[in-house]
Amino acid sequence: MPRPETVLLDNIAGPADLRKMAAKDLPLLAEELRCETIDNVAQTGGHLGAGLGVVELTVALHYVFDTPYDRLIWDVGHQSYPHKIITGRRGKMRSLRQAGGLSGFTKRSESEYDPFGAGHSSTSISAGLGMAMAEKLQAEQDREAGRTHKKRNIIAVIGDGAMSSGMAFEAMNNAGALDANLIVVLNDNDMSIAPPTGAMSAYLARLASAPAYLALRGHARALSRKLPKFFSDTARKTEEYARGFLTGGTLFEELGFYYIGPIDGHNLSHLLPVLKNVRDHSAGSGGQMPVLIHVVTKKGKGYPPAEEARDKYHGVSRFDVKTGEQVKAAANAPSYTRVFADSLVEEARRDEKIVAITAAMPGGTGLDHFAEYFPRRMFDVGIAEGHAVTFAAGLAAEGFKPFVAIYSTFLQRGYDQIVHDVSLQGLPVRFAIDRAGFVGADGATHAGSFDTGFLTALPGFVVAAPADNLELMHIVRTAAAYNDGPISFRYPRGEGEMLDLPRRGEILPIGKGRLMREGSRLALLSFGTLLHEALAAAEALTAEGISTTVADARFAKPLDEELIARLAREHEALISLEEGASNGFGAQVLQFLSRKGLLDAAPGRMGLKIRTLTLPDSYLQHGEQKQVMAQIGLSAAGIVATAKAVLKGEI
């Protein structure tokens, strides 16, 4: 399809150009921006629905506020594509989520218009409050020094789904106590990634649709007359504003915020006067309470395929703009996520104590499939990972068998609860860690690099990683049968191996690995799905005369000490392999070998040459999976190169 005409957008090099436009032209600009967003994501894939829902809001915010001097913070950042387009990055949008290209989220190093990086949810209010306090302190210091100070506005845009996180409420509570000059825009689209769950979404829905509004309209007008003039002026222009006051005070007001809304987030004639009044009030006030503007939007707005889809095209591959049909490569094997879900369903059929928990990611973790069979035994707790962990601990304490299915990167958000509420009490919570390792286009914010390291540090924790989809079936059954404490197992995104899969997995002995092939000079010890790269490397090395053993560790904790000791004693060199950070499986192996003296030289035997291949000690940026793994040496060719260098004494 030809690219859409963008007559107005073509004249926008940045927000300064936007602010020169007449307000009456902004709705047309918004439509061009929406079309441009659709056209770009159709070519690159990425997050679409969230961005389409905030097109008018994006235009209004940049039109009213003096960005980048005024700080505009997008929570999560996946809705920031329209923001990127009108902040000087339009020409690079076709590089989105590709190696060397634009990030799929906001990123400080990418643009001065991204004052705070994001990728995980519910951070914007905390960051905004910190900036607001920095602004307040700077103003005081300038005043004391006799320097001129220009007032800076801080605006945080957060979705209703992100409001289910405790961190957002912690920040709001603190902001109200500090009387911060902070503007929070609540983007209420009734959906974060999955359909909303919990009392917060219901509360917002009640605010937006209170039946009392029509009957008590006159009372609302009378109430608004008692408010400061700049708010009551706005209320007369936007009916939506009055609704929020009919409840006799909102939760946000109790937290110390001045609440305005709900406002139609797709109507610029409603958005602009409210934003201007809030801006002008802030500029003319020496100190005031923080403000929350409740904006109601529609995820996927303006693109029928997105509006009609269940997930509102939250995350998409490349697609045909005309039909909305996504271009997806034919699957050669079931994904790890699907194998996990099918295996958990099979175990749950046999054990009524098995329950499943996710934190706002039922589709991404496969638990939507589990819910089709056991809706009463699947719990989506919202974007609340810490709560998910302790909720699971409570279930485990009462004899149930909870499986917490969560992305590795998001499990980080519940670490204190893992330590204090699960590990310390020895509760048998099962952690199914999806998206472990490098995650391709989602980049550094979503990489699953650290789970092995932070879980093996905990006493009594079983930490496993299946080498393929069949092994994943085995570990799911093993976890279901294991009741002696917490257990985790990690697996990557994407397809598994082409294997014939049984109906049900087998129970594995805890802490026991397996030999895949035997050699005599070099040993490759793999943890997780790098096993198949290790086997390919062994074939190549053996062909060159380097006899190579390959073992699958299966467990990083407890280690198969007998197997590892044998590998150390019977080989000149040992290389451990893992798709994780440097304090993980390899570190466990090194500590064991050191503790047992197996690194030392002995009579008639030289010391063991050992190396650990891990992810590098840096945050890997987005890029194509195989290409990046090859660049960092975690491919068959990279393993071969490392092995040769070790044996030659070059490294």
CA dist 272 and 138 (Å) reads 29
Q: What is the chain's length?
A: 651
Give the residue-averaged pLDDT of 433-442: 90
Task: Say yes or no to pLDDT of 258 above 70.
Answer: yes
Which helix or strand (DSSP H or E) is residue 73 part of? strand 71-74
CA dist 531 and 314 (Å) reads 33
pLDDT on residue 445: 84
pLDDT on residue 234: 45
pLDDT on residue 459: 97
Task: Say yes or no to pLDDT of 16 above 70.
Answer: yes
Architecture in CATH for domain 336-490: 3-Layer(aba) Sandwich (3.40)
pLDDT on residue 186: 94
Model confidence at 643, in pLDDT bands (50, 70, 90)? very high
Give the residue-averaged pLDDT of 432-457: 92
Q: Are 443 and 621 in contact (CB under 8 A)?
A: yes
- CATH 3.40.50.970, applies to 9-316: yes
Helix (H, G, I), strand (E, B) or coil at 522: strand
Task: Say yes or no to pLDDT of 262 above 90.
Answer: no
Residue 413 bears catalytic tag: yes
Model confidence at 236, in pLDDT bands (50, 70, 90)? very low
Alpha carbon distances (Å) from 461 to 313, 577, 595: 38, 21, 20
pLDDT on residue 163: 84
Q: Are 128 and 101 in contact (CB under 8 A)?
A: no
Q: What is the mean pLDDT of the chain?
A: 88
- Which CATH number is associated with domain 514-647? 3.40.50.920
The 10 Å CB-count burial string (b at 16+, else e) for 145-155 is eeeeeeebbbb
Task: Say yes or no to pLDDT of 389 above 80.
Answer: yes
pLDDT on residue 155: 97
Q: Which of 142-146, 149-153, 218-222, 331-335 has the lowest mean pLDDT?
A: 218-222
Among residues 185, 208, 260, the alpha carbon closest in space to that of 230 is found at 260
CA dist 478 and 472 (Å) reads 10
- Residue 192, C-beta contacts closer than 8 angstroms, at least 6 positions apart: 121, 159, 160, 161, 162, 164, 360, 383
Model confidence at 197, in pLDDT bands (50, 70, 90)? low
Q: Which of 226-240, 495-509, 546-560, 561-575 has the lowest mean pLDDT?
A: 226-240
Phi-psi region at 216: left, alpha or beta (left = phi > 0; alpha = psi -120 to 50): alpha
Alpha carbon distances (Å) from 462 to 16, 454, 484, 508, 554: 56, 12, 10, 12, 11
Q: Of all residues in the chain, what percent carry a pLDDT higher than 70?
A: 89
Residue 307 bears catalytic tag: no
Question: For residues 383, 385, 386 and 392, what is the CA-based torsion angle, rounded to 10 degrees?
Answer: 120
Give the residue-averaged pLDDT of 542-564: 98
pLDDT on residue 622: 86
Residue 152 bears catalytic tag: no
Catalytic-role residue among 71, 89, 312, 413: 413
pLDDT on residue 348: 98
**Where does the chain hold its CATH 3.40.50.970 domain(s)?**
9-316, 336-490
Burial of 143 (0-12, 13-18, 19+ CB in 10 A): exposed
Reported pTM = 0.85
pLDDT on residue 199: 59
Task: Say yes or no to pLDDT of 77 above 70.
Answer: yes
Q: Of all residues in the chain, what percent carry a pLDDT higher than 90?
A: 71
Task: Say yes or no to pLDDT of 159 above 50.
Answer: yes
| Residue bearing tokens 């929070």 | 184
Count of C-beta atoms within a 10 Å radius of residue 123: 23
Task: Say yes or no to pLDDT of 323 above 50.
Answer: yes
103-125 tens-digit pLDDT = 988 999 999 999 999 888 899 99
The 10 Å CB-count burial string (b at 16+, else e) for 312-347 is bbbbbeebebeebeeeeeeeebbbbbbbbbbbbbbb
**Where does the chain hold its CATH 3.40.50.920 domain(s)?**
514-647
Catalytic-role residue among 240, 347, 385, 579: 385
Model confidence at 284, in pLDDT bands (50, 70, 90)? low
CA dist 125 and 113 (Å) reads 17
Give the residue-averaged pLDDT of 140-147: 95
pLDDT on residue 218: 42
Alpha carbon distances (Å) from 619 to 130, 147, 164, 303, 650: 24, 40, 28, 35, 27
Q: Are 84 and 41 in contact (CB under 8 A)?
A: no
Catalytic-role residue among 299, 312, 435, 490: 299
pLDDT on residue 328: 80
